[in-house]
Amino acid sequence: MADGSTLGVSGSTTVVRGACPHDCPDTCAMLVTVKDGRAIRVAGDLEHPFTRGFLCTKVNRYVERTYHPDRLLYPMRRVGPKGAGAFARISWDEALGEIAERLNDIRSSTDGPQAILPYSYAGTMGILQGSSIDRRFFHTIGASMLDRTICSMAGTVGMRMTVGANIGADPEGLPESDLVLLWGTNTLTSNPHMWPLVLEARERGATVIAIDPIRTRTAAQCDEWIAIRPGTDAALALGMMHVLLEHGLQDDDYIAAHTLGFDELRERAKEYSPERVSSITGIPAETVVSLGRRYGQARSAFIRVNYGLQRHGGGGMAVRTIACLPALTGHWRRPGGGVQLSSSANFAFNTPVTQRPDLSPKVRTINMIRLGEALTTPNGDVGGPPVRALVVYNSNPAAVAPDRNAVLEGLRREDLFTVVLEHFQTDTADYADILLPATTQLEHWDLHLSYGHHYVSLNRPSIEPLGESLPNSEIFRRLAVHMRLDEPSLRDDDLTIIRQALDSPSPNLKGVTLEALMDRGWMRLNVPTPYLPFAGGAFLTPSGKCEFYSARMEQMGLDPLPAFTAPYEFPENVPDLAARYPLTLISSPAHQFLNSTFVNIAPLRRAAREPECLLHPEDAERRGIGVGARVVIHNDRGAFTAIARVDSTIRPGVVWAPSIWWGKFAADGANANQTTSQRETDMGRGPVFYDNLVEVGLAD
Ligand SMILES: Nc1nc2c(c(=O)[nH]1)N[C@H]1C(S)=C(S)[C@@H](COP(=O)(O)OP(=O)(O)OC[C@H]3O[C@@H](n4cnc5c(=O)[nH]c(N)nc54)[C@H](O)[C@@H]3O)O[C@H]1N2
Ligand SMILES: Nc1nc2c(c(=O)[nH]1)N[C@H]1C(S)=C(S)[C@@H](COP(=O)(O)OP(=O)(O)OC[C@H]3O[C@@H](n4cnc5c(=O)[nH]c(N)nc54)[C@H](O)[C@@H]3O)O[C@H]1N2
Ligand code: SF4
Ligand SMILES: [Mo]
């Protein structure tokens, strides 16, 4: 097999092609320099059209993270109380033997296999290490299913309702755009490789506008910052429609040929006058008018909506409503026009084969954002047996899941058997009965899609596994042997699974083979550049049109037309709650961390300083809070402390706590998820992390 994925050898130094595994839209092509068997440097591939030769501030530290003195190198068994973090080394045979015995006991008990719950998310987004043998394993034993909703489901379902799938405009068209709306996204932090494309558009004359309650580092670089009230974006989008329809700025031909329900939408939009929209969104009516006009007059406006704005009760509806805009103006026709939430659904890997859902008997599904409830209320609203065993990998729920007090209460249960596969002793690992060392991206194979561009990448291991660490795939293979499972697909090796993933009927994957990826490292999907998915209509909805009117939503009991759906904790709807907790807390990503990953890397943590919270001067003054004061942020669900920063780069009434800190690195052991709720969004059962009323006071 040709092997261009090792770029070359000079002396004892080789450069190996890999991919960044993290949960980030950029999925960078990563070049790893290895000397004498040791990785010494990671760099972005200059030739990759999206990576363009750089990695972010976090992943530049990947070598340091890999060889970190705190890496877990051996299997361990808990020796102290749950949560205390005391462990003793054991062998792989002992570890897997004990897990097999405990899980087999549960399977044959009256509670049965559904008392076992896997818990994983996107610590690695790799197809192999994130969703292959692990899934087959849990399906084979008949464990409960996990609904992996914690990030993107509200918006994903919102996109499906309007355009049919979670796909959208190609960011490589951005330079052609004449208006760029960065809507609920902190591009420079969470999608940094899109920024050079935004700058190209701006150099060619585009105006760049950020719509965000916070003047983030991204908003600060834009031509305009529109400081919207959290959770009100659908109202703004409807106000824009109102204005552009009033001025006749719509594309009648596109609407006639490729949309459904225009007359109803026009009536609906009439209800959202700039004045009414202003009263909902807190944006001046003139701004609503000017934004609607400019959007209608643009030739090809690019809307980058990201996941931040859908973490509210009406998050699905917000995304669905925004996604209607480019069909009204026909911007989908042209490069640089349209909406992008994600590109992920373009990557139709062969998941029925890689994950084998057919191996599972009919079992219950537990929503991952209600882990606290699932662990603390036996027979919670999902029915069935109590959760008696929890197997966590690629996730740190003790830091990232909402309603942290409930999650920790569950993890403390003496009768819960918890297994954690990890790189480090995270907050979650402290509660493990058995802690297993996993390999990092430098030590294992993987295959990656992207949710921000259109390139597939192969990650090739560049170094040998450290200590006794093993890839997730191998851990589940070995566990299957210890449990005497005879399902043959549990024995497939890593490269076989990668081949299976690529062996897909999807035309987008035509020509994308393991051989080609071995040679090149990454490849564009079989789609044009730039990719214009809806230039000629061909929406992926049941009607084949852009569905302004959605019969499916009607069946779901939702408003079939775009509408403003208020957040659960929208002050005017919950006056009693708002009297006690008048501020909305946004706990979006810190620049230096990736979710809770990298918090233990000292230089990054130093750069993030300590848990902080940003308040508007009006809000701070009213509470006697000065810069640098230690404050407590609290509501009925819980509390955490932070150091106050005060300035007018945030809307009054909104507080920002950059996240996600590990409890153990905070002075009070707490983090923002102490205050967040387990409620679900209107669509997709997603989390409402930023739909969260709190009060802030001086800590004494
Ligand atoms: N450095 C870094 N990069 C990351 C991550 C990280 O933790 N750190 N996480 C990765 C992951 S998993 C994800 S899902 C993405 C998340 O990245 P994004 O999709 O960009 O989402 P967030 O950072 O959650 O929120 C983006 C912005 O939305 C704003 N916002 C909050 N509520 C609203 C609202 O109601 N309306 C509007 N208009 N804006 C609102 C927030 O103030 C924030 O500035 O980033 C990925 N990239
Ligand atoms: N308050 C608040 N909470 C949030 C968010 C927020 O904005 N605010 N964001 C939410 C979002 S968008 C997301 S996506 C979730 C993210 O939540 P998680 O998916 O839990 O993400 P991380 O915190 O990065 O934890 C991933 C863990 O996986 C481990 N890991 C990485 N690679 C491997 C591997 O190959 N094998 C094994 N076994 N382990 C590995 C890492 O060491 C890390 O500890 O958090 C959510 N929680
Ligand atoms: S986290 Fe995102 S920006 Fe950073 S290297 Fe990975 S893919 Fe690239
Ligand atoms: Mo996420």
Q: What is the pLDDT of residues 88-135, one digit of tens each?
A: 999 999 999 999 999 999 999 999 999 999 999 999 999 999 999 999
CATH T-level assignment (fold) for domain 571-698: Barwin-like endoglucanases (2.40.40)
Write out pLDDT tens, residues 12-42: 899 999 999 999 999 999 999 999 999 999 9
Contacts of 576 (CB under 8 A, 6+ apart): none
Residue 202 pLDDT level (bands cut at 50, 70, 90): very high
Q: What is the mean pLDDT of the chain?
A: 97
The ranges of the chain annotated as CATH 3.40.50.740 are 76-151+356-440+467-504
- Does pLDDT of 47 surpass 60? yes
Residues whose CB falls within 8 Å of the CB of residue 685, separated by 6 or more in sequence, listed in order: 147, 149, 153, 367, 369
Specify the ligand 3 atom closest to the Cα of 30.
Answer: 5
> What residue owns the CA closest to ligand 1's atom 39?
184
Q: Whose CA is nearest to atom 7 of ligand 3?
A: 27
pLDDT tens for each residue of 408-430: 999 999 999 999 999 999 999 99
The alpha carbon of 590 and the centre of ligand 1 are apart by a number of angstroms equal to 9
189 Cα–ligand 3 center, Å: 10
Cβ–ligand 1 contact at 451 (below 6 Å)? no
Q: Which atom of ligand 3 is nearest to the CA of 21?
A: 6
Q: Mark out the alpha helices in 131-215 (DSSP H runs).
A: 133-141, 153-163, 187-190, 195-203
What are the tens digits of pLDDT across the range 282-323? 999 999 999 999 999 999 999 999 999 999 999 999 999 999
CATH topology of domain 76-151+356-440+467-504: Rossmann fold (3.40.50)
CA 448 to ligand 3 center in whole angstroms: 13
In this structure, the residues whose C-beta lies within 6 A of any atom of ligand 2 are 23, 121-124, 129, 150-151, 307, 393-396, 400, 421-424, 426, 438, 472, 587-589, 594-597, 659-660, 672-673, 676, 689
Measured between alpha carbons, how far is 144 from 52 in angstroms, rounded to an integer?
A: 42
Residue intervals in the chain for CATH 3.40.228.10: 154-341+542-555
Evaluate: CB of 28 within 6 angstroms of ligand 3: yes
pLDDT exceeds 90 at position 378: no
Q: Name the residue type at position 522.
A: W
Q: How long is the chain? A: 700
Query: What is residue 392's DSSP assignment?
Result: E
pLDDT of amino acid 11 = 66
With CA atoms as reference, report the closest residue to 395 among 129, 585, 603: 129
Q: DSSP strand E in 184-314: where?
A: 207-211, 224-226, 259-260, 301-305
**Would you say residue 4 has pLDDT above 70?**
no
Query: Which helix or strand (DSSP H or E) is residue 694 part of?
Result: strand 693-698
In the reported structure, the alpha carbon of residue 23 is separated from the centroid of ligand 4 by a whole-number distance in angstroms of: 6
Kindly provide the b/e burial profile for residues 358-390, where b requires at least 16 CB atoms within 10 angstroms of the residue's own CB: ebbeebeebbbbbbbbbbbeeebebebbbbbbb
In this predicted model, what pLDDT tens digit does every residue of 438-496 receive, in sequence order? 999 999 999 999 999 999 999 999 999 999 999 999 999 999 999 999 999 999 999 99
pLDDT class for 700, splitting at 50, 70, 90?
A: confident
For residue 485, the cross-strand partners are none
How far, in Å, are 8, 257, 458, 549 from residue 5 at the CA level? 9, 46, 9, 48
Tell me the CA–centroid distance for residue 340 and ligand 1, in Å: 14
Q: How many CB atoms lie within 10 A of CB 412?
A: 14
**Ligand 3 atom at minimal distance to the Cα of residue 191:** 3
Burial of 652 (0-12, 13-18, 19+ CB in 10 A): middle
Cβ–ligand 1 distance for 282 under 6 Å, the answer no
pLDDT at residue 152, as a whole number: 97
Whose CA is closest to atom 38 on ligand 1? 184
Hey, what CATH topology would domain 154-341+542-555 get? Dimethylsulfoxide Reductase; domain 2 (3.40.228)
Atom of ligand 3 nearest to the CA of 55: 5
Of 394, 507, 529, whose CA–CA distance to 455 is shortest? Answer: 529
pLDDT digits (tens, 9 = 90+) for 492-538: 999 999 999 999 999 999 999 999 999 999 999 999 999 999 999 99
Q: What is the pLDDT of residue 10?
A: 62
Token readout for 430 is 């402290």
Whose tokens are 């808990």? That residue is 78
Phi, psi of 497 (to 5 degrees): -65, -40
Using the atom order of ligand 2, give the atom closest to the CA of residue 129.
35
Query: What spacing in Å lies between the alpha carbon of 620 and ligand 3's midpoint?
Result: 35
Domain with CATH 2.40.40.20 in the chain: 571-698
- Which tokens hold the place of 599? 């918090």
**CA–centroid distance, residue 619 to ligand 2 (Å):** 32
Round to whole Å and give the CA distance between 52 and 374: 44
Under 8 Å between Cβ of 449 and 127: yes
157-173 pLDDT, tens digit per residue, is 999 999 999 999 999 99
Pairing relation of β-strands 207-211 and 546-547? unpaired
Confidence of residue 690 (pLDDT cuts 50, 70, 90): very high
Give dist(CA 113, CA 134) in Å, integer: 15
Model pLDDT, residue 383: 82
Residue of 368, 382, 305 lying closest to 341 (CA atoms) = 305
Higher-confidence residue of 382 and 203: namely 203
How many A from CA of 661 to the centre of ligand 3?
Answer: 19
In 3-state terms, what secondary structure has residue 271?
Answer: coil
